[in-house]
Amino acid sequence: MNGVLVNKMRAVMHAANLPNVLWTEVLPYVVEVDNLSPTKALKGMTPTEKLTGLKPDISKLKVCGCVGYVFIPKEKRKNKLSEKAESALFLGLPKTKHDYRLLHLRTGKMVDPVTSSSART
């Protein structure tokens, strides 16, 4: 199974033109998407559905590597005309699944899932 997931991760990273150093951010998302995908072995059910008995909520899923935005609080803006958001790349879901894992493009840092409540893709 690991080889299958690694191949899926490579495909996702290649499609999103992401550098190899981000594999630790991308792999958990690939596993999550895999667990939310129907399989023949489970007769069209997802592994998550088989485990919990509930249909999975896929509303938070996004394309890995898509552009998202990180809100800049008013107190951190230089003036009234300053940008209200900065670009980021979606890389996955945090453990809480209430928000998104984003790579902030200006800083090159991952947006903390706790503070990214204002981050949207």
Q: How many helices (H) and strands (E) does the chain have?
A: 3, 4
Helix (H, G, I), strand (E, B), or coil: what is residue 3?
helix
Mean pLDDT of the chain: 86
In this model, does residue 61 exceed pLDDT 70?
A: yes
Tokens, residue 107: 């800083």
Average pLDDT over residues 57-71: 89
Burial class (CB in 10 A: 0-12, 13-18, 19+), 45: middle
**pTM tops 0.85, yes or no:** no
Q: What is the pLDDT of residue 98?
A: 66
Residues of the chain above pLDDT 90, percent: 61
Average pLDDT over residues 7-17: 95
Q: Please give the distance of CA 56 from its chain centroid, rounded to a whole number.
A: 16
Residue type, 44: G
Q: What is the pLDDT of residue 99?
A: 75
Instruction: Considering only residues 36 and 121, tell me which one the structure prediction assigns the higher pLDDT.
Output: 36
In this model, does residue 108 exceed pLDDT 50?
A: yes
